[in-house]
Structure 1
């Protein structure tokens, strides 16, 4: 997955890669404790045990670092979406929920706090837009792989973005516990991992797949 920041290169030396990994981990760790919007560069530097100046050697600003950290959680989600094998003809889709869609929600559940924050009302629009784009791109590639005679490319773009936006809305509400009566304050509970009373990974995947197939 290509990084979008000009400050993120591919030829970093091992020490730089280690530092960046520490900074990303610090952001993800802090996101379980506070809103993404309230995480400061000083917070991140302290958690990563580096000085503040070091952070700016690797990232141009706080938003750049937040995007890189959250994007590091997106790869598995996007790859799972790419493997779902959607079809233009929804009647041709299998009844059973694809294991890859279940995997998509399982990947989200691993970083539940991050997605709850990122897709919340006070979340990061930049991060949410990035994930929406990546998901839509993954599904557009599948839809355009259909045989000749498929709908016009523009129609397929609309469908891919429609699906992407819908799935993001489900992820946001699910991670906040809106489907289980948990609400914001109870949302950390392992609704997706079976340790709590919330909607499980399999349940939310099944319901999402039914809607993708056009079922009620």
Structure 2
């Protein structure tokens, strides 16, 4: 099978859409290959012609769904003022809030470990590439680029997972962006008053 063939691309797109729909609709369990095939209107053999298993299909589908998160990480101006979260970070949390059920299932306790790992790897790679060119927040001198990128990617995934795990306690997107920005780019400490 030629992956560049338009029919193969359409089939893969249908399979990815079915996997995402089932992940968003499901009760916390990862959808089976058979369920994905039924939703996409194909037989299970077609799924296996394109993907090794349901986890590989879900990981591929999530990679596409995660594109806005990766885009926000690549566009976030790391030299923005410390007192206000940059707009791409706010947009990231607005996207996550809009798709909270999907992210909750993807990153939650019953989610696919491959999806969380794929997001962490993609974010780490994006941040490493940016940091390698010297584009880093102030105060990061002496911290190895790969360590810094891995730390921020893991922290961001953790915040997204926490914010989508309990919808009753979900943060507003602007509040989440502001809190994360304060952690990424701490505000200067106010010196203690004389005599304290």
Query: Shorter-chain TM-score: which interval?
Result: 0.7 to 0.9
Q: Name structure 1 gaps, 5 residues minimum.
A: 1-6, 184-197
Give the one of 23, 30, 33 matched to 1:41: 33
Match of 1:130 among 118, 121, 126: 118
User: 1:128 and 1:78 mapped to 2: Cα distance?
Assistant: 13
Distance 1:13 1:211 in 2: 45
Per the alignment, in what secondary structure is the counterpart of residue 95 of structure 1?
Answer: coil
Which of the two has greater helix per residue?
2
**What does residue 98 of structure 1 align with?**
86
Q: Comparing 11-20 with 165-174, which one deviates more in the overlay?
A: 11-20
Which 5+ residue runs of structure 2 have no aligned equivalent?
190-196
The residue that corresponds to 1:121 in the other structure is 109
Report the secondary structure of 1:107's partner residue: helix
Note the aligned Cα RMSD (angstroms): 2.4
**Structure 2 length-normalised TM:** 0.83
* Mapping for residues 169-208 of structure 1, pairs under 5 Å: 169-177=158-166, 182=168, 198-208=170-180
Decide whether the 8 Å contact of 2:30 with 2:111 is kept in 1: no
How far did 1:94 drift? 4.1
Residue 72 of structure 1 aligns to a residue whose secondary structure is helix
Shift of 1:176: 1.4
Contact 2:106 2:112 in 1 (8 A): yes
Report the CA distance shift for 1:100/1:134 in structure 2 as closer, same or farther (over 3 A): same
TM-score (norm 1): 0.76
**Which of 184, 187, 190 is 1:212 aligned to?**
184
Whether the 8 Å CA contact 1:20–1:58 is kept in 2: the answer is: yes
Match of 2:127 in 1: 139
Question: 1:46-125 maps to which residues of 2 (within 5 A)?
Answer: 46-86=38-78, 93-125=81-113
